[in-house]
């Protein structure tokens, strides 16, 4: 009897983290050309929660419910960052996020030979 109760409680505790998470799936595309952006950093700033987009721009991230009032940050080199309120993404289905390109102006460099 005690083993059965212990087994039941263990099973319940193992399944709780799955219940207390929000799954967000989607795709990251360029705003101008609508092409996928691979390896975009996706996560909650200053937490252990994060992932990167696949080569086709797709991603999937599990957000613990304690972070529902936080913002999901999407950042990729050469693009403007996007912050999305996680609470508003809970029932959104597959998310499509468009990132706008940013130009970085570099200072001129002069190369001289000896």
pLDDT above 70 (res 17) = no
Phi, psi of 48 (to 5 degrees): -90, 0
Q: Which of 76, 74, 78 is nearest to 86 (CA)?
A: 74
In this prediction the pTM is 0.74
% residues pLDDT > 70 (the chain) = 83
Give the pLDDT band of residue 101 (cuts 50, 70, 90). very high
pLDDT digits (tens, 9 = 90+) for 42-89: 999 999 999 999 999 999 999 999 999 999 999 999 999 999 999 999
Contact 100, 40 (CB under 8 A): no
Cα distances (Å, whole numbers) of residue 50 to 10, 43, 60, 72, 100: 27, 4, 10, 9, 21
* SS3 assignment, position 10: helix
Q: Which of 64, 57, 49 is nearest to 26 (CA)?
A: 57
Phi, psi of 2 (to 5 degrees): -65, -35
Which tokens hold the place of 23?
A: 């799954």
């Amino acid at each position: 009897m005690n083993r059965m109760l212990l087994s039941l409680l263990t099973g319940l505790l193992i399944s709780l983290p799955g219940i207390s998470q929000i799954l967000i799936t989607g795709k990251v595309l360029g705003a101008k050309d609508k092409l996928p952006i691979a390896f975009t950093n996706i996560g909650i700033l200053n937490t252990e929660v994060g992932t990167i987009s696949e080569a086709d721009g797709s991603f999937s991230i599990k957000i613990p419910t304690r972070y529902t009032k936080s913002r999901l940050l999407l950042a990729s080199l050469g693009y403007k960052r996007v912050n999305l309120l996680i609470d508003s993404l809970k029932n959104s289905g597959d998310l499509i996020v468009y990132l706008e390109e940013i130009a970085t102006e570099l200072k001129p460099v002069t190369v001289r030979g000896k």
